């Protein structure tokens, strides 16, 4: 590699003599001043600590950033060698640009600063956007309710198709988690609340009953808008829909339904509601209707990994294990969804909201 300090070119006069690098540590970040370049290297002034150089692979990696520099420009660099064979301090700016970006991310999170990002990609888990040349991930669960992909059957391909519609769109997000070591940067759109929304939320309290309209249904629950203030949205988790076990919220609610719900939590700008809190808990009086060893009539509602769920009445379901039939295949030969049958109550477990069934003795 040519040594400009040993040549007679005008550029050589700008360089300090090699060997001047003192009081430096490998891995240290320093601010350097750009001097100029030769065909194979770029040089930087470190003041009394010597002259820095970027060449070889580091030069290739930092090509775009170096191309924009003018003599006299300052830049943050990382020391990779305090003094090479020619006496220069070897530098890298490829890593320092990322280091600076992570520092800015930390500052933005500390300030709780909303950031405008442009969506550049999508996958089934969420959206991808750049922040300071870093790749940020916006999970589906952190999308604003209006942007949540409300696919009725939970099909992942359809969800991805909905998410792809946001590519190229600007969104306002907040940083909620990051880790430079693993290059993790997570942002949330749902966490950004304007002052109007905050004022609206201040009107509501835990335990209050409100009228809501179902605006979307997902596998984990139902999204609702407040009837008196549609700008306020909340979530009814699947576990809060009914006292009976529900495997799919679509069994109980439909988009457009108007319902009474109770606010169970207001936290970080999100409202959680419950339908079952306003309903009488039938399990408190299950003993008045059913008893162990009682013979009952029921209709097969669905199959699951354990066996068959049998609907006994509007409030109660029972479970009969596949083992009663010798296995799931044999069970499905003997029973079918919608078919009525006679069963015997083996056990009633109110705390677990479960009634176990068995076949009548032959």
Residue 59 lies in a domain: yes
Residue 102 lies in a domain: no
For 188-203, what is each residue's pLDDT tens digit?
988 786 655 777 888 8
Average pLDDT over residues 281-287: 91
Q: Are residues 51 and 116 in the same domain?
A: no
Q: Are residues 11 and 77 in the same domain?
A: yes
Tokens 């942007």 belong to residue:
147
Structural domain total, the chain: 4
For 13-40, what is each residue's pLDDT tens digit?
444 444 444 578 888 878 899 999 998 9
Cβ neighbourhood burial of 25 (10 Å; 0-12, 13-18, 19+): exposed
For 229-266, what is each residue's pLDDT tens digit?
888 889 999 999 998 878 889 989 999 999 999 999 99
**Last residue of one domain, picked from the residues 188, 213, 234:** 188
Residue 104 lies in a domain: no
Q: Are residues 203 and 180 in the same domain?
A: no
Q: Are residues 156 and 81 in the same domain?
A: no
Q: How many Cβ atoms sit within 10 Å of the Cβ of residue 83?
A: 17
Are the C-beta atoms of 287 and 293 separated by less than 8 Å? no
Edge-to-edge order in the sheet of strand 170-179: 115-118, 170-179, 184-188, 134-139, 126-131, 121-123
Residue 167 lies in a domain: yes
Residue 99 lies in a domain: no
Please report which confidence band the pLDDT of residue 213 belongs to, taking 50, 70 and 90 as the band edges.
Answer: very high
Q: What's the CATH code of the domain at 125?
A: 2.40.50.140
* φ/ψ of residue 48, rounded to 5: -70, -10
> Which has the minimum average pLDDT: 20-29, 91-100, 113-122, 321-330?
20-29
**Last residue of one domain, picked from the residues 188, 222, 243:** 188
Q: Are residues 257 and 329 in the same domain?
A: no
Residue 134 lies in a domain: yes
Query: Residue 330 sits in which domain range?
Result: 286-358
Residue 103 lies in a domain: no
**Last residue of one domain, picked from the residues 165, 188, 211:** 188
Q: Are residues 9 and 87 in the same domain?
A: yes
The pTM (predicted TM-score) of the whole model is: 0.51
Residue 97 lies in a domain: no
């Amino acid at each position: 590699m040519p040594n400009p300090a040993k040549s007679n070119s005008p550029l050589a006069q700008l360089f300090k003599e090699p060997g001047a690098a003192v009081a430096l540590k490998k891995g240290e970040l320093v601010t350097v001043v750009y001097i100029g370049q030769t065909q194979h290297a770029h040089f930087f002034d470190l003041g009394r600590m010597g002259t820095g150089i970027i060449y070889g692979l580091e030069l290739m990696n930092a090509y775009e950033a170096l191309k924009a520099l003018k003599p006299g420009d300052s830049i943050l660099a990382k020391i990779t060698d305090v003094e090479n064979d020619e006496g220069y301090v070897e530098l890298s700016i490829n890593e320092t640009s990322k280091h600076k970006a992570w520092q800015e991310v930390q500052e933005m999170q500390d300030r709780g600063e909303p950031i405008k990002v442009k969506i550049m990609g999508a996958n089934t888990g969420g959206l991808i956007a750049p922040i300071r040349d870093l790749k940020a991930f916006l999970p589906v669960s952190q999308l604003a309710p209006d942007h949540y992909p409300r696919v009725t059957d939970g099909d992942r391909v359809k969800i991805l198709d909905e998410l792809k519609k946001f590519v190229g769109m600007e969104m306002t997000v907040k940083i909620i988690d990051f880790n430079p070591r693993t290059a993790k940067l997570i942002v949330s759109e749902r966490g950004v609340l304007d002052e109007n929304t905050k004022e609206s939320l201040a009107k509501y309290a835990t335990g209050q009953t409100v009228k809501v309209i179902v605006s979307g249904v997902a596998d984990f629950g139902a999204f609702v808008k407040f009837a008196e203030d549609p700008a306020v949205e909340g979530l009814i988790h699947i576990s809060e829909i009914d006292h009976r076990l529900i495997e799919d919220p679509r069994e109980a609610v439909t988009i457009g339904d108007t319902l009474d719900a109770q606010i169970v939590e207001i936290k970080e700008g999100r409202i959680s509601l419950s339908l079952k809190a306003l309903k009488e808990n039938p399990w408190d009086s299950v003993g008045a209707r059913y008893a162990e060893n009682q013979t009952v009539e029921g209709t097969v509602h669905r199959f699951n990994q354990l066996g068959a769920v049998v609907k006994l009445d509007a409030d109660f379901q029972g479970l009969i294990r596949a083992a009663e039939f010798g296995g799931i295949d044999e069970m499905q030969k003997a029973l079918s969804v919608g078919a009525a049958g006679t069963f015997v109550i083996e056990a009633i477990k109110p705390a677990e909201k479960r009634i176990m069934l068995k076949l009548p003795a032959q």
